[in-house]
Amino acid sequence: MPRAVLLALAALLACAGPAGAASSSAQKQLAAEVEALVKMKGGPPGAIAVVQRGAQRSVARTGFGNLRTRAPMRTSDEMRMASTAKAFSGAVALSLVDKGVLSLSDTIGQRLPALPAAWASVTLAQALQHTSGLPDFSRSKGWQAAVGKNPRAPILPHARLLDFVASDPLVFAPGSEFQYDNSDNIVVALMAEAATGQTYNALLASEVYAPLGLDHTTLPDGFRLHAPYIHGYDVTARVPEDLSTALSASITWASGGIVSTPDDATRFIRGYVSRKLFGEATQNQQLALVDGHSEPIGPGVNRAGLGVFEYATRCGTVYGHTGNYPAGYTQFMASTLDGTRSVTFSINEQLDSATLKGPARNVFAALRRAEVTAVCAALD
């Protein structure tokens, strides 16, 4: 059977969902848009969208999770979660806030006095909402040079990530502006460690993985992934280059190092947004929104909460996070506040909305349209 026919058949079967599940027009449209996305010039090798309505789940997928073996995109395969890892650090922090171990008004000066005095007034809430004004370590020439010199070498201890900008002043007065920033979630994780005396990995296990039943989610220090995994690619090369294990996860740690699966990502975002990890009073503080968007920009109109973003689309509003990773991944995950409707959308190509040019700009526009359709399929 020709490969194109096999791919089309796989996509149709994946979109069928569980026996008896209704196939809405939005789900059919999503299947077509996912397939078109992969076929575009500059499009990803593969794409997979998991839409869940209550107990009913449908999966739209096409293309490959591994170009060498021609393995499909699978919901049980590992992948790099990119900046959706920031939602995990938000989950840890807000769980500890709910328990009274941390306070949203705690400052860097109180919890992390070894960090620069110029940053001392920044609060946990401001770090979670990207209104801290902290200088971004990932934009520093020093960090970029260190990663370029040895991309697989762990940068440890993790507080050293902030050493690259320790001599820099705040970019703006804390609380006065929004600026998406990778330093923020390093501070969030370090404050959680300081408040508990436990490692961030241990806190992820106790506060997030165990309560939500995440059996295939980790925060590794190294560059390896457990096979089988969804491979990430640079599609701008003449022959797509596999970047899956090109970088150590620790280069972004709490801001981008989480490894998970589409199945676990679905469980996480449904539980996180529906208050399975903290109560209503804490969520009310989390959802005091300001103007600001995730990176890359998510579907619809974006606004920023504490460790979460609001995405208001033509079909309704969901809450979650996006992410992109230089090792070849772009992610979107979101849920309704009651946790009954959700979507996760993963492609194995990096699309950074801040620097797009050429065919990638069209691919990103198509991705955002498909993400909106996925939200519509979840809410329809």
pLDDT tens for each residue of the chain, 380 residues long: 333 333 333 333 333 333 234 358 999 999 999 999 999 999 999 999 999 999 999 999 999 999 999 999 999 999 999 999 999 999 999 999 999 999 999 999 999 999 999 999 999 999 999 999 999 999 999 999 999 999 999 887 888 999 999 999 999 999 999 999 999 999 999 999 999 999 999 999 999 999 999 999 999 999 999 999 999 999 998 899 999 999 999 999 999 999 999 999 999 999 999 999 999 999 999 999 999 999 999 999 999 999 999 999 999 999 999 999 999 999 999 999 999 999 999 999 999 877 677 889 999 999 999 999 999 999 98
User: Under a CB-based contact definition with an 8 Å cutoff, are residues 309 and 91 in contact?
Assistant: no
For residue 23, the model assigns a pLDDT of 52
- Cis bond before residue 157 (omega within 30° of 0): yes
Q: The pTM is what? A: 0.93
11, 60, 350 from 367: Cα distances, Å:
17, 13, 12
Domains and CATH numbers, the chain: 3-78+227-240+260-379 (3.40.710.10), 87-207 (3.40.710.10)
User: Under a CB-based contact definition with an 8 Å cutoff, are residues 15 and 23 in contact?
Assistant: yes
User: Under a CB-based contact definition with an 8 Å cutoff, are residues 88 and 258 in contact?
Assistant: yes
List own/partner pairs for 279-287 with CB under 8 A and 24 or more apart: 279/98, 281/98, 282/94, 282/97, 282/98, 283/94, 285/97, 285/104, 285/125, 286/90, 286/94, 286/128, 287/319
Tally Cβ neighbours within 10 Å of residue 285. 16
For residue 159, the model assigns a pLDDT of 84
Sign of CA dihedral 126, 128, 130, 135: positive
